[in-house]
Chain A
Protein backbone atom coordinates (compact mmCIF):
# COMPACT_ATOMS: atom_id res chain seq x y z
CA UNK A 1 0.00 0.00 0.00
CA UNK A 2 2.94 2.31 0.62
CA UNK A 3 3.77 2.11 -3.07
CA UNK A 4 0.24 3.11 -4.05
CA UNK A 5 0.27 6.01 -1.63
CA UNK A 6 3.56 7.20 -3.09
CA UNK A 7 2.17 6.85 -6.59
CA UNK A 8 -0.89 8.96 -5.86
CA UNK A 9 1.12 11.47 -3.84
CA UNK A 10 3.51 11.89 -6.75
CA UNK A 11 0.58 12.32 -9.11
CA UNK A 12 -0.99 14.97 -6.91
CA UNK A 13 2.23 16.97 -6.59
CA UNK A 14 3.74 16.58 -10.05
CA UNK A 15 0.92 18.55 -11.63
CA UNK A 16 2.31 21.56 -9.72
CA UNK A 17 6.01 20.87 -10.01
CA UNK A 18 6.39 19.75 -13.63
CA UNK A 19 5.09 23.04 -15.09
CA UNK A 20 7.39 24.95 -12.72
CA UNK A 21 10.41 22.92 -13.79
CA UNK A 22 9.40 23.48 -17.39
CA UNK A 23 9.19 27.23 -16.81
CA UNK A 24 12.63 27.23 -15.19
CA UNK A 25 14.17 25.30 -18.06
CA UNK A 26 12.60 27.55 -20.69
CA UNK A 27 13.76 30.69 -18.87
CA UNK A 28 17.24 29.25 -18.48
CA UNK A 29 17.53 28.44 -22.16
CA UNK A 30 16.07 31.79 -23.18
CA UNK A 31 18.49 33.68 -20.95
CA UNK A 32 21.38 31.59 -22.20
CA UNK A 33 20.46 32.25 -25.85
CA UNK A 34 20.01 35.96 -25.22
CA UNK A 35 23.43 35.98 -23.60
CA UNK A 36 25.13 33.93 -26.30
CA UNK A 37 23.73 35.84 -29.27
CA UNK A 38 23.09 39.29 -27.84
CA UNK A 39 26.06 39.82 -25.61
CA UNK A 40 28.77 37.16 -25.81
CA UNK A 41 31.07 39.40 -23.76
CA UNK A 42 28.47 40.46 -21.24
CA UNK A 43 30.64 39.71 -18.23
CA UNK A 44 33.66 41.71 -19.40
CA UNK A 45 33.06 45.33 -18.47
CA UNK A 46 34.87 47.08 -21.26
CA UNK A 47 32.53 46.03 -24.08
CA UNK A 48 29.48 48.21 -24.56
CA UNK A 49 26.25 46.23 -24.98
CA UNK A 50 23.32 47.19 -27.16
CA UNK A 51 20.72 48.89 -24.86
CA UNK A 52 17.84 46.82 -26.29
CA UNK A 53 19.67 43.62 -25.52
CA UNK A 54 20.55 44.94 -22.10
CA UNK A 55 16.84 45.40 -21.36
CA UNK A 56 16.00 41.93 -22.68
CA UNK A 57 18.76 40.43 -20.60
CA UNK A 58 17.67 42.39 -17.54
CA UNK A 59 14.13 41.08 -17.85
CA UNK A 60 15.14 37.51 -18.51
CA UNK A 61 17.59 37.49 -15.61
CA UNK A 62 14.89 38.86 -13.31
CA UNK A 63 12.37 36.26 -14.47
CA UNK A 64 15.00 33.58 -14.08
CA UNK A 65 15.77 34.68 -10.55
CA UNK A 66 12.05 34.71 -9.69
CA UNK A 67 11.66 31.19 -11.11
CA UNK A 68 14.52 29.87 -8.96
CA UNK A 69 13.09 31.47 -5.82
CA UNK A 70 9.54 30.39 -6.68
CA UNK A 71 10.67 26.81 -7.16
CA UNK A 72 12.39 26.69 -3.78
CA UNK A 73 9.50 28.35 -1.97
CA UNK A 74 6.96 26.17 -3.75
CA UNK A 75 8.78 23.01 -2.68
CA UNK A 76 8.51 24.04 0.95
CA UNK A 77 4.90 25.18 0.58
CA UNK A 78 3.92 21.90 -1.05
CA UNK A 79 5.59 19.85 1.69
CA UNK A 80 3.54 21.71 4.30
CA UNK A 81 0.34 21.91 2.30
CA UNK A 82 0.21 18.27 1.23
CA UNK A 83 0.67 17.10 4.79
CA UNK A 84 -1.75 19.56 6.35
CA UNK A 85 -4.47 19.79 3.72
CA UNK A 86 -4.49 16.20 2.57
CA UNK A 87 -4.47 14.69 6.05
CA UNK A 88 -6.03 17.16 8.46
CA UNK A 89 -8.74 18.98 6.55
CA UNK A 90 -11.78 17.45 4.83
CA UNK A 91 -9.53 15.38 2.56
CA UNK A 92 -8.30 13.63 5.70
CA UNK A 93 -11.67 11.89 5.97
CA UNK A 94 -10.77 9.99 2.82
CA UNK A 95 -7.10 9.41 3.61
CA UNK A 96 -7.72 8.06 7.10
CA UNK A 97 -10.46 5.71 5.96
CA UNK A 98 -8.15 4.04 3.42
CA UNK A 99 -6.95 0.60 4.49
CA UNK A 100 -3.39 1.82 5.11
CA UNK A 101 -1.29 2.15 8.23
CA UNK A 102 -0.70 5.57 9.73
CA UNK A 103 3.07 5.27 9.34
CA UNK A 104 2.55 4.61 5.63
CA UNK A 105 0.68 7.90 5.30
CA UNK A 106 3.49 9.80 7.03
CA UNK A 107 6.26 8.00 5.16
CA UNK A 108 4.64 8.46 1.74
CA UNK A 109 4.38 12.23 2.26
CA UNK A 110 7.93 12.38 3.60
CA UNK A 111 9.48 10.38 0.77
CA UNK A 112 7.71 12.31 -1.97
CA UNK A 113 8.61 15.59 -0.23
CA UNK A 114 12.24 14.48 -0.12
CA UNK A 115 12.24 13.46 -3.76
CA UNK A 116 10.90 16.86 -4.78
CA UNK A 117 13.48 18.62 -2.60
CA UNK A 118 16.21 16.64 -4.33
CA UNK A 119 14.77 17.22 -7.80
CA UNK A 120 14.39 20.94 -7.04
CA UNK A 121 18.07 21.18 -6.06
CA UNK A 122 19.09 19.18 -9.09
CA UNK A 123 17.03 21.38 -11.42
CA UNK A 124 18.64 24.53 -10.06
CA UNK A 125 22.13 23.02 -10.41
CA UNK A 126 21.38 21.94 -13.99
CA UNK A 127 20.08 25.39 -14.80
CA UNK A 128 23.21 27.09 -13.37
CA UNK A 129 25.28 24.65 -15.38
CA UNK A 130 23.44 25.52 -18.60
CA UNK A 131 23.86 29.23 -17.93
CA UNK A 132 27.57 28.90 -17.31
CA UNK A 133 28.21 26.68 -20.35
CA UNK A 134 30.97 28.09 -22.49
CA UNK A 135 32.53 30.11 -19.70
CA UNK A 136 34.71 27.11 -18.85
CA UNK A 137 35.73 23.87 -20.52
CA UNK A 138 35.30 20.34 -19.21
CA UNK A 139 39.07 20.23 -18.87
CA UNK A 140 39.03 23.22 -16.53
CA UNK A 141 36.39 21.52 -14.44
CA UNK A 142 38.15 18.16 -14.08
CA UNK A 143 41.48 19.84 -13.49
CA UNK A 144 39.98 22.06 -10.81
CA UNK A 145 38.42 19.10 -9.06
CA UNK A 146 41.53 16.96 -9.12
CA UNK A 147 43.61 19.89 -7.86
CA UNK A 148 41.25 20.35 -4.93
CA UNK A 149 41.66 16.67 -4.11
CA UNK A 150 45.48 16.71 -4.15
CA UNK A 151 45.67 19.94 -2.20
CA UNK A 152 43.28 18.60 0.42
CA UNK A 153 45.27 15.39 0.71
CA UNK A 154 48.59 17.17 1.07
CA UNK A 155 47.22 19.46 3.79
CA UNK A 156 45.17 17.06 5.86
CA UNK A 157 46.46 13.64 4.89
CA UNK A 158 42.98 12.23 4.24
CA UNK A 159 40.85 11.95 1.12
CA UNK A 160 38.35 14.68 0.36
CA UNK A 161 35.80 11.96 -0.48
CA UNK A 162 35.27 11.14 3.17
CA UNK A 163 34.50 14.74 4.03
CA UNK A 164 32.17 15.16 1.05
CA UNK A 165 30.35 11.97 1.96
CA UNK A 166 29.92 13.11 5.56
CA UNK A 167 28.61 16.50 4.49
CA UNK A 168 26.16 14.86 2.07
CA UNK A 169 24.90 12.64 4.86
CA UNK A 170 24.40 15.66 7.08
CA UNK A 171 22.48 17.50 4.36
CA UNK A 172 20.17 14.54 3.70
CA UNK A 173 19.53 13.83 7.38
CA UNK A 174 18.97 17.47 8.28
CA UNK A 175 16.55 17.89 5.37
CA UNK A 176 14.57 14.91 6.65
CA UNK A 177 14.56 16.24 10.18
CA UNK A 178 13.42 19.69 9.10
CA UNK A 179 10.51 18.18 7.13
CA UNK A 180 9.58 15.98 10.07
CA UNK A 181 9.75 18.98 12.37
CA UNK A 182 7.09 20.65 10.24
CA UNK A 183 5.00 17.47 10.35
CA UNK A 184 5.22 17.11 14.12
CA UNK A 185 4.29 20.78 14.57
CA UNK A 186 1.21 20.34 12.38
CA UNK A 187 0.32 17.19 14.32
CA UNK A 188 0.71 18.97 17.66
CA UNK A 189 -1.57 21.71 16.38
CA UNK A 190 -4.26 19.05 15.88
CA UNK A 191 -4.33 18.39 19.61
CA UNK A 192 -6.06 21.72 20.12
CA UNK A 193 -9.78 22.15 19.64
CA UNK A 194 -9.52 25.58 18.07
CA UNK A 195 -6.98 27.69 16.21
CA UNK A 196 -5.08 24.64 15.10
CA UNK A 197 -2.94 26.41 12.52
CA UNK A 198 -1.88 29.02 15.07
CA UNK A 199 -1.10 26.20 17.50
CA UNK A 200 1.02 24.50 14.83
CA UNK A 201 3.05 27.65 14.28
CA UNK A 202 3.40 27.99 18.04
CA UNK A 203 4.61 24.41 18.33
CA UNK A 204 7.15 25.02 15.57
CA UNK A 205 8.52 28.10 17.31
CA UNK A 206 8.71 26.35 20.68
CA UNK A 207 10.56 23.38 19.16
CA UNK A 208 12.95 25.74 17.37
CA UNK A 209 13.76 27.60 20.58
CA UNK A 210 14.17 24.36 22.54
CA UNK A 211 16.52 22.98 19.89
CA UNK A 212 18.55 26.20 19.88
CA UNK A 213 19.04 25.99 23.63
CA UNK A 214 19.96 22.31 23.56
CA UNK A 215 22.24 22.92 20.58
CA UNK A 216 24.10 25.72 22.37
CA UNK A 217 24.56 23.58 25.45
CA UNK A 218 25.86 20.67 23.37
CA UNK A 219 28.24 22.98 21.49
CA UNK A 220 29.54 24.40 24.75
CA UNK A 221 30.16 20.92 26.12
CA UNK A 222 31.83 19.93 22.86
CA UNK A 223 34.10 22.97 22.90
CA UNK A 224 35.06 22.41 26.53
CA UNK A 225 35.75 18.74 25.90
CA UNK A 226 38.03 19.54 22.98
CA UNK A 227 39.77 22.51 24.51
CA UNK A 228 43.21 21.25 23.43
CA UNK A 229 42.18 21.07 19.81
CA UNK A 230 40.53 24.49 19.94
CA UNK A 231 43.68 26.09 21.36
CA UNK A 232 46.14 24.36 19.06
CA UNK A 233 44.44 25.59 15.95
CA UNK A 234 47.66 25.51 13.99
CA UNK A 235 47.77 21.77 13.63
CA UNK A 236 45.77 20.87 10.57
CA UNK A 237 45.25 17.22 11.38
CA UNK A 238 43.60 17.90 14.70
CA UNK A 239 41.45 20.70 13.34
CA UNK A 240 40.25 18.34 10.63
CA UNK A 241 39.45 15.71 13.19
CA UNK A 242 37.35 18.23 15.03
CA UNK A 243 35.46 19.14 11.88
CA UNK A 244 34.71 15.48 11.28
CA UNK A 245 33.51 15.13 14.83
CA UNK A 246 31.34 18.22 14.49
CA UNK A 247 29.74 17.07 11.23
CA UNK A 248 29.10 13.52 12.37
CA UNK A 249 27.87 14.75 15.73
CA UNK A 250 25.33 16.99 13.99
CA UNK A 251 24.28 14.10 11.76
CA UNK A 252 23.74 11.89 14.79
CA UNK A 253 21.73 14.59 16.59
CA UNK A 254 19.58 15.00 13.47
CA UNK A 255 19.00 11.26 13.27
CA UNK A 256 17.80 11.30 16.87
CA UNK A 257 15.52 14.25 16.06
CA UNK A 258 14.14 12.44 13.02
CA UNK A 259 13.24 9.38 15.07
CA UNK A 260 11.66 11.51 17.79
CA UNK A 261 9.65 13.68 15.38
CA UNK A 262 8.53 10.70 13.32
CA UNK A 263 7.21 8.69 16.22
CA UNK A 264 5.59 11.70 17.87
CA UNK A 265 3.80 12.54 14.61
CA UNK A 266 2.66 8.98 14.12
CA UNK A 267 1.53 8.65 17.73
CA UNK A 268 -0.62 11.76 17.54
CA UNK A 269 -2.12 10.77 14.21
CA UNK A 270 -2.91 7.27 15.38
CA UNK A 271 -4.20 7.89 18.87
CA UNK A 272 -5.25 11.51 19.11
CA UNK A 273 -6.67 12.14 15.67
CA UNK A 274 -9.75 14.34 15.71
CA UNK A 275 -10.53 15.79 12.31
CA UNK A 276 -12.46 19.02 12.29
Chain B
Protein backbone atom coordinates (compact mmCIF):
# COMPACT_ATOMS: atom_id res chain seq x y z
CA UNK B 1 0.00 0.00 0.00
CA UNK B 2 1.21 3.46 -0.82
CA UNK B 3 1.91 6.02 1.87
CA UNK B 4 3.04 8.80 -0.42
CA UNK B 5 2.46 9.41 -4.10
CA UNK B 6 3.07 12.36 -6.36
CA UNK B 7 1.64 13.28 -9.72
CA UNK B 8 3.62 15.71 -11.86
CA UNK B 9 4.76 17.41 -8.67
CA UNK B 10 6.38 20.72 -9.53
CA UNK B 11 7.68 23.54 -7.37
CA UNK B 12 9.18 26.76 -8.63
CA UNK B 13 10.56 29.68 -6.64
CA UNK B 14 10.07 32.65 -8.92
CA UNK B 15 11.89 31.66 -12.10
CA UNK B 16 13.92 28.94 -10.47
CA UNK B 17 12.57 25.42 -10.76
CA UNK B 18 13.27 23.35 -7.65
CA UNK B 19 11.26 20.28 -8.62
CA UNK B 20 9.84 19.43 -11.99
CA UNK B 21 7.23 16.83 -12.90
CA UNK B 22 8.08 14.31 -10.21
CA UNK B 23 6.05 11.08 -10.27
CA UNK B 24 6.79 8.59 -7.53
CA UNK B 25 5.01 6.15 -5.30
CA UNK B 26 6.41 5.25 -1.91
CA UNK B 27 5.11 2.06 -0.29
CA UNK B 28 4.72 1.49 3.43
CA UNK B 29 7.20 -0.59 5.35
CA UNK B 30 10.29 0.66 3.55
CA UNK B 31 13.25 2.91 4.32
CA UNK B 32 13.89 5.14 1.35
CA UNK B 33 17.01 7.16 0.70
CA UNK B 34 16.30 10.43 -1.09
CA UNK B 35 19.67 11.10 -2.61
CA UNK B 36 21.09 13.85 -4.71
CA UNK B 37 23.78 16.52 -4.77
CA UNK B 38 23.37 19.83 -2.95
CA UNK B 39 20.53 21.93 -4.33
CA UNK B 40 18.98 19.00 -6.19
CA UNK B 41 15.54 19.53 -4.63
CA UNK B 42 15.70 17.05 -1.75
CA UNK B 43 14.66 19.53 0.91
CA UNK B 44 11.97 21.00 -1.32
CA UNK B 45 10.49 17.54 -1.79
CA UNK B 46 10.50 16.86 1.93
CA UNK B 47 9.03 20.27 2.75
CA UNK B 48 6.23 19.68 0.25
CA UNK B 49 5.46 16.35 1.92
CA UNK B 50 5.60 17.97 5.36
CA UNK B 51 3.14 20.65 4.25
CA UNK B 52 5.57 23.52 4.68
CA UNK B 53 5.38 24.37 1.01
CA UNK B 54 2.49 24.34 -1.42
CA UNK B 55 3.13 22.77 -4.87
CA UNK B 56 3.23 25.10 -7.84
CA UNK B 57 1.74 22.39 -9.99
CA UNK B 58 0.79 18.75 -9.73
CA UNK B 59 -0.09 17.07 -6.49
CA UNK B 60 1.29 15.16 -3.55
CA UNK B 61 -0.87 12.70 -1.64
CA UNK B 62 -0.01 11.31 1.80
CA UNK B 63 -2.14 8.51 3.25
CA UNK B 64 -4.86 9.43 0.79
CA UNK B 65 -4.90 13.16 1.45
CA UNK B 66 -3.23 16.37 0.34
CA UNK B 67 -0.88 17.79 3.01
CA UNK B 68 -2.83 19.50 5.78
CA UNK B 69 -3.74 19.12 9.42
CA UNK B 70 -4.61 15.43 9.02
CA UNK B 71 -1.39 14.46 7.27
CA UNK B 72 0.72 16.50 9.68
CA UNK B 73 -0.65 14.37 12.50
CA UNK B 74 0.62 11.27 10.68
CA UNK B 75 3.92 12.64 9.44
CA UNK B 76 6.95 13.06 11.67
CA UNK B 77 9.25 15.62 10.14
CA UNK B 78 12.84 16.36 11.02
CA UNK B 79 13.94 19.60 9.41
CA UNK B 80 17.49 20.39 8.42
CA UNK B 81 17.31 23.37 10.80
CA UNK B 82 17.40 23.23 14.56
CA UNK B 83 13.88 24.43 15.16
CA UNK B 84 13.67 24.21 18.94
CA UNK B 85 13.36 27.27 21.18
CA UNK B 86 16.64 28.02 22.86
CA UNK B 87 15.14 28.92 26.20
CA UNK B 88 13.28 25.66 26.68
CA UNK B 89 14.40 22.69 28.72
CA UNK B 90 14.33 19.28 27.04
CA UNK B 91 11.53 18.22 29.41
CA UNK B 92 9.46 21.24 28.34
CA UNK B 93 9.88 20.37 24.69
CA UNK B 94 8.78 16.82 25.43
CA UNK B 95 5.64 18.25 27.04
CA UNK B 96 5.12 20.39 23.93
CA UNK B 97 5.35 17.40 21.60
CA UNK B 98 3.13 15.35 23.88
CA UNK B 99 0.49 18.09 23.75
CA UNK B 100 0.36 18.43 20.00
CA UNK B 101 1.05 14.91 18.75
CA UNK B 102 -1.26 12.17 19.88
CA UNK B 103 1.18 9.50 18.70
CA UNK B 104 4.06 10.82 20.81
CA UNK B 105 5.53 8.27 23.20
CA UNK B 106 7.10 9.98 26.20
CA UNK B 107 8.70 6.83 27.63
CA UNK B 108 10.47 6.13 24.38
CA UNK B 109 11.83 9.66 24.29
CA UNK B 110 13.04 9.52 27.87
CA UNK B 111 14.79 6.19 27.28
CA UNK B 112 16.59 7.48 24.22
CA UNK B 113 17.69 10.61 26.10
CA UNK B 114 19.10 8.38 28.79
CA UNK B 115 20.94 6.23 26.22
CA UNK B 116 22.57 9.29 24.71
CA UNK B 117 23.37 10.83 28.11
CA UNK B 118 21.19 13.89 27.68
CA UNK B 119 19.75 15.39 30.84
CA UNK B 120 16.05 16.29 30.40
CA UNK B 121 16.50 19.28 32.69
CA UNK B 122 19.15 20.88 30.51
CA UNK B 123 18.27 23.95 28.53
CA UNK B 124 18.88 23.83 24.81
CA UNK B 125 20.86 27.04 25.06
CA UNK B 126 23.64 25.19 26.85
CA UNK B 127 23.86 22.37 24.31
CA UNK B 128 26.16 21.90 21.37
CA UNK B 129 24.75 21.84 17.86
CA UNK B 130 25.21 18.09 17.67
CA UNK B 131 23.36 17.49 20.94
CA UNK B 132 20.50 19.69 19.77
CA UNK B 133 20.26 17.61 16.62
CA UNK B 134 20.17 14.47 18.70
CA UNK B 135 17.33 15.86 20.83
CA UNK B 136 15.41 16.79 17.73
CA UNK B 137 15.85 13.36 16.22
CA UNK B 138 14.79 11.70 19.46
CA UNK B 139 11.60 13.77 19.49
CA UNK B 140 10.84 12.92 15.88
CA UNK B 141 11.53 9.21 16.29
CA UNK B 142 9.49 9.00 19.50
CA UNK B 143 6.34 9.46 17.50
CA UNK B 144 4.40 6.48 16.22
CA UNK B 145 4.00 8.11 12.81
CA UNK B 146 3.05 6.60 9.47
CA UNK B 147 5.66 8.52 7.58
CA UNK B 148 8.99 9.84 8.82
CA UNK B 149 10.65 12.57 6.82
CA UNK B 150 14.24 12.97 7.90
CA UNK B 151 16.09 15.81 6.24
CA UNK B 152 19.85 15.39 6.78
CA UNK B 153 19.41 13.55 10.09
CA UNK B 154 23.01 12.60 10.75
CA UNK B 155 24.92 15.56 9.33
CA UNK B 156 26.03 17.05 12.61
CA UNK B 157 26.36 14.10 14.96
CA UNK B 158 29.42 12.03 15.77
CA UNK B 159 29.90 8.53 14.26
CA UNK B 160 29.09 6.73 17.53
CA UNK B 161 25.78 8.52 17.89
CA UNK B 162 25.22 7.99 14.18
CA UNK B 163 25.11 4.24 14.66
CA UNK B 164 22.75 4.59 17.59
CA UNK B 165 20.48 6.88 15.59
CA UNK B 166 20.39 4.63 12.55
CA UNK B 167 19.63 1.74 14.82
CA UNK B 168 16.81 3.73 16.40
CA UNK B 169 15.39 4.49 12.99
CA UNK B 170 15.34 0.82 12.00
CA UNK B 171 13.87 -0.42 15.23
CA UNK B 172 11.38 2.36 15.87
CA UNK B 173 9.15 2.44 12.87
CA UNK B 174 6.14 0.19 12.59
CA UNK B 175 5.52 -2.23 9.74
CA UNK B 176 3.01 0.06 8.06
CA UNK B 177 5.20 3.15 8.26
CA UNK B 178 7.77 4.42 5.82
CA UNK B 179 10.93 6.41 6.41
CA UNK B 180 12.33 8.86 3.89
CA UNK B 181 15.88 9.95 4.61
CA UNK B 182 17.46 12.72 2.61
CA UNK B 183 21.24 12.92 2.78
CA UNK B 184 24.41 13.02 0.83
CA UNK B 185 26.27 10.92 3.40
CA UNK B 186 25.28 7.79 1.50
CA UNK B 187 27.96 5.40 2.67
CA UNK B 188 26.87 5.94 6.28
CA UNK B 189 23.23 5.04 5.80
CA UNK B 190 23.49 2.65 2.90
CA UNK B 191 23.16 -0.45 5.04
CA UNK B 192 19.72 0.50 6.35
CA UNK B 193 18.13 1.56 3.04
CA UNK B 194 15.59 -0.56 1.18
CA UNK B 195 15.00 1.76 -1.75
CA UNK B 196 16.68 4.77 -3.23
CA UNK B 197 15.49 7.77 -5.18
CA UNK B 198 18.09 9.77 -7.05
CA UNK B 199 17.17 13.31 -7.93
CA UNK B 200 19.20 15.97 -9.64
CA UNK B 201 18.33 19.56 -10.55
CA UNK B 202 14.72 18.95 -9.62
CA UNK B 203 14.28 15.89 -11.79
CA UNK B 204 13.90 12.24 -10.96
CA UNK B 205 16.98 10.40 -12.17
CA UNK B 206 16.40 6.93 -10.80
CA UNK B 207 14.10 5.10 -8.44
CA UNK B 208 14.99 1.57 -7.50
CA UNK B 209 15.47 -0.89 -4.70
CA UNK B 210 18.94 -1.29 -3.25
CA UNK B 211 18.98 -5.01 -4.10
CA UNK B 212 18.27 -4.24 -7.74
CA UNK B 213 21.14 -1.83 -7.85
CA UNK B 214 23.53 -4.33 -6.41
CA UNK B 215 22.36 -6.97 -8.88
CA UNK B 216 22.07 -4.87 -12.01
CA UNK B 217 25.07 -2.60 -11.54
CA UNK B 218 27.14 -4.75 -9.25
CA UNK B 219 27.88 -1.65 -7.23
CA UNK B 220 27.09 -0.16 -3.88
CA UNK B 221 24.63 2.73 -3.78
CA UNK B 222 27.49 5.02 -2.88
CA UNK B 223 29.47 3.82 -5.88
CA UNK B 224 26.51 4.23 -8.20
CA UNK B 225 25.84 7.70 -6.82
CA UNK B 226 29.41 8.74 -7.56
CA UNK B 227 29.06 7.41 -11.07
CA UNK B 228 25.68 8.99 -11.84
CA UNK B 229 26.54 12.36 -10.37
CA UNK B 230 30.15 12.48 -11.53
CA UNK B 231 31.27 16.06 -11.88
Residues of A within 8 A of B (CB): 1, 4, 7-8, 12, 15, 90-94, 96-101, 193, 270-275
Q: A8-B96, A98-B100 are in contact. List 9 more A-B contacts (CB 8 A).
A: A4-B100, A15-B87, A90-B81, A93-B83, A94-B83, A96-B52, A98-B72, A99-B69, A99-B70
Q: Is the interface of A mostly helix, strand, loop or mixed?
A: loop
Q: Kindly state whether residue B73 has any CB partner on chain A within 8 Å.
A: yes
Given A1, A90, A91, A274, which contacts B100 in the complex, CB threshold below 8 Å?
A1
Residues in chain B near residue A193, CB distance under 8 A = 13-14
Q: A270–B52 contact, CB under 8 A? A: no
Given A4, A12, A97, which contacts B85 in the complex, CB threshold below 8 Å?
A12
Q: How large is the interface on B (under 10, 10 to 19, 20 to 34, 35 or more residues)?
A: 20 to 34
Residues in chain B near residue A96, CB distance under 8 A = 51-52
Residues in chain A near residue B85, CB distance under 8 A = 12, 91
7 CB-based A-B contacts, threshold 8 Å? A15-B87, A90-B79, A90-B82, A94-B84, A96-B52, A97-B79, A272-B54
Taking each of B50, B75, B85, which has the highest tally of chain A beta carbons within 10 Å of its own beta carbon? Answer: B85
With both chains docked as a complex, state the minimum distance between the C-beta of A81 and any C-beta of chain B, in angstroms. Answer: 12
Residues in chain B near residue A7, CB distance under 8 A = 99
Residues in chain B near residue A12, CB distance under 8 A = 85
Given A92, A99, A274, which contacts B83 in the complex, CB threshold below 8 Å?
A92
Residues of B within 8 A of A (CB): 13-14, 47, 50-54, 69-70, 72-73, 75, 77, 79, 81-85, 87, 96, 99-101
Residues in chain A near residue B47, CB distance under 8 A = 275
With both chains docked as a complex, state the minimum distance between the C-beta of A218 and any C-beta of chain B, in angstroms. Answer: 36
Residues in chain B near residue A4, CB distance under 8 A = 99-100
Residue on A nearest B72 in the bound complex, by CB: A99
Q: B99–A270 contact, CB under 8 A? A: no
Q: A271–B70 contact, CB under 8 A? A: no
Roughly how many angstroms separate A115 CA and B13 CA in the complex, as a whole number?
38
Residues in chain A near residue B96, CB distance under 8 A = 8
Given A93, A99, A101, which contacts B52 in the complex, CB threshold below 8 Å?
A93
Q: B82–A99 contact, CB under 8 A? A: no
**Are A99 and B73 also in contact (CB < 8 A) when A1-B100, A193-B13, A274-B13 are?**
yes
Residue on A nearest B14 in the bound complex, by CB: A193
Q: B69–A101 contact, CB under 8 A? A: yes
Q: B72–A97 contact, CB under 8 A? A: yes
Residues in chain B near residue A275, CB distance under 8 A = 47, 52
Residues in chain A near residue B77, CB distance under 8 A = 93, 97
Roughly how many angstroms separate A90 CA and B83 CA in the complex, as a whole number?
5
Residues in chain B near residue A92, CB distance under 8 A = 83
Q: B51–A97 contact, CB under 8 A? A: yes
Residues in chain B near residue A15, CB distance under 8 A = 87
With both chains docked as a complex, state the minimum distance between the C-beta of B90 and any C-beta of chain A, in angstroms. Answer: 14
Residues in chain A near residue B72, CB distance under 8 A = 97-100
Residues in chain A near residue B69, CB distance under 8 A = 99-101
Residue on A nearest B84 in the bound complex, by CB: A94
Residue on B nearest A95 in the bound complex, by CB: B83
Q: A8–B52 contact, CB under 8 A? A: no
Q: B99–A99 contact, CB under 8 A? A: no
Residues in chain B near residue A270, CB distance under 8 A = 54
Taking each of B14, B50, B54, B100, which has the highest tally of chain A beta carbons within 10 Å of its own beta carbon? Answer: B100
Roughly how many angstroms separate A99 CA and B79 CA in the complex, as a whole number?
16
Q: A93–B81 contact, CB under 8 A? A: yes
With both chains docked as a complex, state the minimum distance between the C-beta of B18 and any C-beta of chain A, in angstroms. Answer: 10
Residue on B nearest A12 in the bound complex, by CB: B85
Residue on A nearest B77 in the bound complex, by CB: A97
Residues in chain B near residue A273, CB distance under 8 A = 52-54
Residue on A nearest B151 in the bound complex, by CB: A93
Residues in chain A near residue B81, CB distance under 8 A = 90, 93
Q: B100–A99 contact, CB under 8 A? A: yes
With both chains docked as a complex, state the minimum distance between the C-beta of B102 and any C-beta of chain A, in angstroms. Answer: 9
Residues in chain A near residue B54, CB distance under 8 A = 270-273
Residue on B nearest A270 in the bound complex, by CB: B54
Residues in chain A near residue B14, CB distance under 8 A = 193
Given B53, B84, B87, B101, which contacts A99 in the complex, CB threshold below 8 Å?
B101
Residues in chain A near residue B99, CB distance under 8 A = 4, 7-8
Residues in chain A near residue B75, CB distance under 8 A = 97
